[in-house]
Amino acid sequence: MKRVIVTGGSGFLGRRVLRHLAGQTHAVGTFHSGRASDVCALHLDVTDAARVTAAFAAERFDVCVHTAANCDLESCESDRASAIALNVEGTRNVVEACRSAGTRVVYISTDHVFDGTRAGPYLEADAPRPLQTYGATKLAGEKLVEGLDGSLVVRMPLLYGLSEAGDKATFVTKVIQSLRQRREFFADDQAVRYPIDVGEAAAFVAALVVSEVKGVLHFGSDEGVTKLEWARRIASELGLDPLLVVARPEAGRATRPRNNRLGSSRLFALGFPPPRPVAAVIAKLGGTWTAAQ
């Protein structure tokens, strides 16, 4: 069995990747500000180079899934130094430790490395042009990872799902809670998003761990929605009032791309299925959301 370490294993994506790896690999997750568990038991601050080096030297991992990052656009914009420390220098520490230990890296990146001005989908070979600090730091992380033999960069759009204990409230959870309390929910009607179910993303990453795929790979949906359309679909599926969802442009310091569709032609060529569109996931999970909230 492959020995796998998942940085950020207590996070939204990381903990779900660990679940999919259980049984098919020997996997351990790291946590910092999150919480420990049976599969997420290694306390590690990736910005501490000495601790990272020691952790990777102590147990020779075959693969590192690097999910640890600050993914909050506004937080990255308001505290650029902290974003660089975690997203860039933290990635540098992980990459150097993996280089020394002979560990392959699967790096989780973002569609925000692009500027959203292209008419068609962005392909893996297209030149990135991030508009905000978050995208710029993730792109810098990509470049560090790409210098490591056998590495894989996986770019994904916005991930969604129900919040679990320890998770920050997700968009879906916020919509449901607000509308069930008969409160207006304000949602952006400008930028087109291509969201993916976090469980589906986690299963995909787990499959990549046991594969030999390398380079850059996009995991993107073909169905675009604004947050306004998305929230109203959730409302309609759960029998809530879609008219409580009110249009309001997304505010903040971070510049957001208008349409970052990721083309997944390489994904198809490798034999992987595309992620399900938002409409299909909402319809299938409607009952689950109803019971869980």
Residues involved in catalysis: 134
DSSP letter string over the chain? --EEEEETTTSTTHHHHHHHHBTTBEEEEEESSS---SS--EE--TT-HHHHHHHHHHS--SEEEE--S---HHHHHH-HHHHIIIIIIHHHHHHHHHHHHT-EEEEEEEGGGS-S--SSPBPTTSPP--SSHHHHHHHHHHHHHHTSTT-EEEEE--EE----TTSPPPHHHHHHHHHHTT--EEE-SSSBB--EEHHHHHHHHHHHHTS---EEEE---S--B-HHHHHHHHHHHTT--GGGEEE-PPPSSS---SB-PBP-HHHHHTTPPPPPPHHHHHHHHHHHHHHH-
